[in-house]
Amino acid sequence: MSFASTLNEQVGNEFGAHQQYVAIAAHYDGETLPQLASFFYRQAVEERNHAMMLIQYLLDADHPVEVPGVEAPKSDFADTVEPVRLALEQERRVSDQISNLARLAREEGDYQGEQFMQWFIKEQVEEVSSMSALLQVVQRAGDDPLRAEEYLAREQIGDAGGDPTAPGAAGGAL
CB-based burial of residue 96 (10 Å sphere; 0-12 exposed, 13-18 middle, 19+ buried)? exposed
CB-based burial of residue 70 (10 Å sphere; 0-12 exposed, 13-18 middle, 19+ buried)? middle
Q: Is 21 left (phi over 0), alpha (psi -120 to 50) or beta?
A: alpha
Dump pLDDT digits (tens) for 64-99.
999 999 999 999 999 999 999 999 999 999 999 999
CB-based burial of residue 109 (10 Å sphere; 0-12 exposed, 13-18 middle, 19+ buried)? exposed
Q: How many CB atoms lie within 10 A of CB 161?
A: 6
Q: Which domains does the chain have, with CATH numbers?
A: 3-69+76-154 (1.20.1260.10)
Dump pLDDT digits (tens) for 10-34.
999 999 999 999 999 999 999 999 9
What's the predicted TM-score (pTM) here? 0.91
Q: Which one-letter DSSP state was computed for residue 33? A: -
